[in-house]
Chains A and B, each alone.
Chain A
Amino acid sequence: MDTLQHLILGFGVALSPTNLLIAAMGCFIGTIVGLLPGLGPINGVAILMPLAFAMKLPPEASLILLAAVYIGCEYGGRISSILLNVPGDAGAIMTALDGYPMARKGLGGVALSISAWSSFVGSLVATIGIVLMAPLLASWALSFGPAEYFALMCFAFACIAGLMGDAPVKAGLAAIIGLSMSCVGLDSNSGVYRFTGGDIHLSDGIQFVVVVIGVFSISELLLMLQQHHSNAGMVTQTGRMLFNWLELKSTWWGTLRSSVVGFAVGVLPGAGATIASAMTYSMEKSLTDKEGTFGQGDIRGVAAPEAANNSAATGSFVPMLTLGVPGSGTTAVMVGALSLYNITPGPALFTQQPDLVWGLIASLFVANVILLVLNIPLVGVFTKVLSVPNWLLVPGIVAVSSVGVYAVHATTFDLVLMTGLGFAAYLLRKQGVPMAPLILGFVLGDMMEQNLRRALSISNGDASILVGSPITIGLWVAAALMLVVPIGMRLLAGRRRAEVTAV
């Protein structure tokens, strides 16, 4: 059992006292970031990434920290959904539908504990999924050549454009902007400086940290100005703190089903927690809701989407770890974090740095146990965080973000570039241009260009190599389907709606 051996090795890494402490810190911070409305996993991971680097954490420790924050956010989002009716992050939107009515009925404590439990089950199922699937996928991906990688990255962009945006053109535009930004700086193959405008600060390219913080921290707080949340609607009387046997039994199968579906959705690039929780909520509704109680505080409607958003978030580690091609904005940020350490994720990582990969996987198990322990008894502590006023919180976020950017190169230039990118990202986001494809483009840009050039070098400039193997053809077809099917379905749905209104 090769996998088992590796897993034991991974637990050795994850259970070292330092890494255990780091995971616990990450879980705590993640839960807080997740429950704050307006801040989601990507913001938390983006803000912490440069700090982890600046604190000189070793790569596996900083990856464990970021992963714990990511998973912690998925736990934290439900708290404000249930108590405030304001989702703490996008994955927790569905949880509010039944969670808040439950809290209004005095079952807030039950909703919180059952959702912590189903989050735990979801993550656990997905982590087991990673253990089973990742080594297989990685060993298969080892045979990928540059042409396959180029096609794979195009597939990832097609997924994210087809599944994420309601406006695929805008998602595509975002990806192109990200890819273009990655071209800035010295071209390593030819020694040509591109788009630097002669500025020495740009000769090394735009720093990843600067882009991420600008896009996900500075622009976020400008957006937060528009959405004032008050704690007026907060339910404080939470009643019984723990779910009982009957409640556990009634949610059990729904939780398991949603976990499996969530994992499958999470593995697919571009989809992720938001889509997974929406999908499973409606799936559970159609499967089990005979009495029509969904939406009025049905416990099954709380458990299912929470299981799904956690398993989807965990599942999104699969493409990142095995292929080196992240499938979501948050994992894209993690790939960028690894690049700070000069580590390129991909199938080779499983053989070259098994302690890093398996340490991360093992720490997902560990982090989930910590989160379950943190989230059931300490939920009261976390709800206190919701009463931190924005006039203190937002300047704090600006300060911490700037520390992260400053820590990398200690230049004013990077800070100014961060604000500039933040303003541009704000304008783009107001226009409905999604930022996840942009960050994906920025992370993948260099790899994509290198693979394209390498592929064409192999074939001496003959572009037919890009469709030269069954794998590439399969990926291109899948990419085309990803683009065409959702758009086609939307068009069909639109036409049907138009017909109805016409009648």
Chain B
Amino acid sequence: MSDRLLGAVCVVASAAMAWAAQDYAAAISYEPVGPRAFPMLLSVGLGLSGLWLVLHPTAGAESFRGVPWKATALCACAVLVYALLFQWLGFALATALMALPVGMAFGGSWKQALAGGAALGLVLFLLFDKVLDVVLPTGPLSAVLGGS
């Protein structure tokens, strides 16, 4: 993705913003500036800076050179799956599951990542839920972890 592409995305986003904001109006207006003005102002700003980047790009695709795409994609997916399963699987299980691919992407062996993740899940659960009083989901392990 180069500056030019980023700029183009901004221009499209600014158009979408302006389109969405065009009919924001107060039912009964008692002030000269309603809910539409500020978003419109921002959309103009967004469009102009996008245009600037399209016309005067300073960086090409080289800013993405050297990115370990496989590891990055793996981590990103793992975090997304973690977010989706957090509530359903419970904190401890979900954390162990997330730590396996993320740990391996950061150079751990699968054994290290698995053991580390299980330990993290358990220790952090006990720390937050039991000691610091931050209620966390327990999921299927609720019988073991004494969930609410």
Contacts and interface: CB of A to CB of B under 8 A. Distances in A.
Contact of B35 (A190, A391, A456): A190
Interface in A217-263: 218, 221-222, 224-226, 228
B130 to A, nearest CB: 13
B24 A391 contact: no
A399 B106 contact: no
Given A169-B49, A398-B102, A412-B84, A452 B33 contact: yes
* Interface size of A as a range: 35 or more
Contacts of B31: 189, 453, 456-457
A461 interface: yes
Interface stretch (A113-121, A292-300, A316-324, A417-425): A417-425
A290 B9 CA distance: 53
B39 A183 contact: yes
Given A55-B133, A391-B113, A222 B75 contact: yes
Interface string A375-404: 000000000000001111111101110110
A457 to B, nearest CB: 5
Given A391-B113, A406-B86, A432-B63, A427 B95 contact: no
Nearest to A196: B20
Contacts of A179: 42
Given A225-B105, A391-B112, A430-B67, A406 B136 contact: yes
Nearest to A428: B6
A412 B80 CA distance: 11
Contact of B107 (A170, A390, A396): A390
B116 interface: yes
A169 B52 contact: yes
Nearest to B56: A169
A431 B1 contact: yes
Nearest to B124: A399
Contact of B3 (A190, A391, A431): A431
Interface in B91-110: 91, 95, 98-99, 102-108
A180 interface: yes
Given A170-B53, A191-B26, A399-B124, 20 more contacts: A51-B128, A176-B46, A183-B39, A190-B34, A222-B75, A225-B106, A390-B108, A391-B104, A394-B106, A395-B98, A395-B99, A396-B120, A399-B91, A402-B86, A415-B83, A416-B83, A419-B80, A430-B1, A432-B59, A457-B31
Interface of A: 51, 54-56, 167, 169-170, 172-173, 176-177, 179-180, 183, 187, 189-192, 194-195, 218, 221-222, 224-226, 228, 389-396, 398-400, 402-403, 406-407, 410-412, 415-416, 418-419, 422-423, 426-428, 430-433, 449, 452-453, 456-457, 460-461
